[in-house]
Amino acid sequence: MTLATRSLIKNLSSALGAQAEREQLIALISIATQTVAPLWPLDSAIAVNPLSGFEEQPFEEVLPEAAALFGARPTLSLNEWRTLMDEGRIDQVSLRKAVVNALGGPDEAFALLGPDLNAYNLLVARLLDMEAEDVPPVRRALSPGMATLARWLAAFFDRNAALRLPGRERGLYACLSEALRHDPALLRASNATGRAWLENAPADPVDMLILAARRDAVGPERRLPWLRAMVASLPGWAAHLRWRSEHAGPATSLGAPACMADLMALVALVQGVVQPAPRAVPDPDCPEDVEAALLVHCGVAQDAPAKWPEAGRARLRAVAALTHAQLGLIFQEAAESSFLGQLAPQLEGASARLAAPQSTLRPEAQAIFCIDVRSEPMRRALETQGRFETLGYAGFFGLPIAINPACAAPARNQLPVLLSPSHVVPERAMPGREAEATAMLARHAALGDAQAMLDTTKSGAIGFAAAEAAGPVAAVAMLARTLAPRLTHRLRQRLIGERGHVLAPAACNDQDHERHDGQGEGIPLAQRVAYARGMFALTGLSPQTARLVALVGHGGCTTNNAFAASLDCGACGGHPGGPNARLMAAILNDPAVRKGLAAKGVDLPHDTWFIAAQHDTTRDEVEIFDRHLVPASHVADLARFERALSCAGAQSRDERAARLDRTADDLLTGAAHWGEVRPEWGLSGNAAFIVGPRALTREVDLGGNAFLHSYDWKKDDDGSALTGIMTAPMIVAQWINCQYLFSTIDNEIFGAGDKTTQNVVGGFGVVQGSGGDLCTGLPRQSLFRDDGTPYHTPRRLAVIVHAPLQRVQDIVLRHDAVGRLVENGWVNLVVIDPWKHKAHHWVRGDWAVRPC
């Protein structure tokens, strides 16, 4: 073989090896991307589990792993847990049960180590009496290099809130790697080696990562955790980029393409220029020191264990070796058990009462609310006003739609983010209100122009002149909004007009439902019938409905609140649910749909009329839509229903005001006040997702802590309805629960910190202070009282299903999205046996059904 041939073979082998390395790294990048959950922008903010990428692992194993990766706390401090116990949120019986479970059962827990001493006593001492000072979390402060990169990321992803960054069309890595080469702050923080690294960076992001891995001697087996650490360096920006790559429309990336490999490569580039400061790892208590402290606390001599049997000494060592994360998890399990221990017996009793004959009287009216926890107090209050029946259904009412606004705004998705819209529904003027709609849209446009002018006072050189010119006007507006917020809010609404009273989704208009334009707008009759039938199947709603049936969406009402969308309907993609309610009501009132339903066995009474409404969860007021369409025969029914809603709203408002330590009138003012940092608690306190008939929970005061989805197992022969509930609304509820849980455990890392020190960046996210990483969770004011104690109790979602055990088990085993949450302990699944009326808690691993 000639020298040239050998050289050719060597070069070919090297090229093949490089290509294999590149392909392997690209595959690992895809896996590492799952380290963070997508972060939706502020205008459509929805709750997500920040650790959703770890759901393949057991919950208790993920806590310390995620804490180490993100520099977060794995649990509340022991003092915080003790405070919750003092407040009665953890009872003694549940804590005792959790301690015994943690020690491996009663035999291990109560076996004597020495005279009058057992492992149970030792562990209770650690939980309740010792170690007042908790191990602080391992924080990862942004290095100068990462802070610089975060500033450039804000400029690249900006939504026209500032001057456009040149070169964005070349892509994130190409644009910012060039910008970083000329950044004076980065150059000052680097040395000659760092500057050389910066100047010679490859043009391709994957090549950059390969080069960095070789420089740092990161072998193939270590590259996945290395890439995950890259993502965790700026988890907020990584989460935004994941949303942008996986969920945003093509228009979002147009002119500014970006992918996760770009971000990882930029992190690697910056770390090569400015090495991140080593994280200060606190010294945890040495197990030997804890042993000694335990003996002192229990009044046992230090040399006494030498005389114990080896099994006793082993139990002492095991208790002393428990980490703060493990101690916190014991408290959390006790909190979960306390909640279920109080709720399960009440549901068992209600299940037994369901076996008795139920009333056949026709309700005065029925109201189908969203399953949102904030609907529960309003439903409970409404049912006290007369013969009213309420049901729970996902707030998008089963309609996979996007609304195409009458103005020039882009289409707005009105469905869960797990789904994609199947139909685009146009928003049009109601018949006879075309002129009013035109005038209202003109006022909206003028208001938008004024807001755009105001925005110029906040950025750019022109801002100085604009601020001088707009100052007097802004001062008057500021005083009005501060001194008379409710009056200002009413005047503003009167000025721009009530959109919902002159515009409506097209199906609410008196037009041919079968008409479709070239863009495919509208919903064909067959699908409208299917969506209507689906509502009856999933809720168990009997076709023998009341004369008046209300479909009640929901939304919040706040002013000057970056997180306003988080108070709207998550099932509608972070938007108010009124449009979906209006569309479904129009569908159900359509004679052609009624005929189609009758052909499929859903024969509605001829005198039933459906109305649409929206529950304002901040003010506990319900707005009725399209009242002009209500037949004269039903006007009196509607009047009685509205009186009942008004009384129910006042009752619910009083209940909620007490939780906020305010008056009911304060809630109405707070919704309009631009300085209000806590207009409502949102979904704080959420603890359960209950699937069953309303009779199961009607007599239970759930305190606004439960998602309630109506379901009748007797009307679901094949289990398809329950499957739909557990594979969609239940998972959304688990996302919400985990966001509240982790935002409470560590509000700095998994939450958004204090609202008063936040700034909106780029029009899509918030940062603390003047810059840095994007905040990924909920603000402190949504979770903690003013004195700093948690209002929200961090506990995993209790999924409680009233259905045959085998039916639930089949769904869990057949659907991985449900099975991994149950098996890995991300939710606590409880089944109420509809025949024996006993609550059973599914235990991970062996799938044995055991009483709670």
The annotated binding site for Zn(2+) is made up of: 370, 372, 554, 569
Q: Please report which residue ranges of 694-801 form alpha helices under DSSP H.
A: 720-727, 729-745
Beta partners for residue 163, in sequence order: none
Task: Look up tokens 């009056």; give the residue.
Answer: 487
Q: Please report which residue ranges of 278-323 form alpha helices under DSSP H.
A: 287-297, 310-321
The answer to whether the CB of 652 falls within 8 A of the CB of 620 is yes
Q: What element of type H or E holds 227?
A: helix 223-233
C-alpha 335/C-alpha 93 separation (Å) is 11
Q: Which residues are within 8 A (CB) of 281 and not within 5 positions of it... i.e. 6 or more apart?
A: 138
Q: Is 328 left (phi over 0), alpha (psi -120 to 50) or beta?
A: alpha
Q: For residue 46, report the phi and psi dihedrals to the nearest 5 degrees.
A: -130, 160
The answer to whether the CB of 684 falls within 8 A of the CB of 783 is yes
How far does the chain reach from its first CA to its final CA, in angstroms? Answer: 76
Residues at the annotated binding site? Answer: 370, 372, 554, 569
Task: Look up tokens 């009167």; give the residue.
Answer: 494
Which of 267, 272, 265, 331 has the alpha carbon at shortest distance from 80?
Answer: 331
Which of 320, 323, 294, 339 has the alpha carbon at shortest distance from 91?
Answer: 339
Output the CA torsion 737→739→745→746 (10° steps).
Answer: 180
Residue type, 734: Q
C-alpha 768/C-alpha 747 separation (Å) is 12
Which of 610, 606, 669, 600 has the alpha carbon at shortest distance from 637?
Answer: 610
Which token pair is 618?
Answer: 């901040």
Give the Cβ contact number of residue 472 at 10 Å.
9
C-alpha 244/C-alpha 804 separation (Å) is 42
C-alpha 418/C-alpha 573 separation (Å) is 9
> Looking at residue 137, what DSSP letter applies?
P
| Residue 711 CA: distances (Å) to CA of 141, 185, 549 | 48, 60, 18
The answer to whether the CB of 557 falls within 8 A of the CB of 614 is no
Is 302 buried (19+), middle (13-18) or exposed (0-12) by CB count in 10 A?
exposed
- DSSP-based helix, strand, coil % in the chain, nearest 5: 55, 10, 35
Q: How far is CA 158 from the centre of its chain?
A: 24
The answer to whether the CB of 579 falls within 8 A of the CB of 414 is yes
Residue type, 547: R
Q: What element of type H or E holds 412?
A: strand 412-413
Beta strands in 701-756 (DSSP E): 706-709
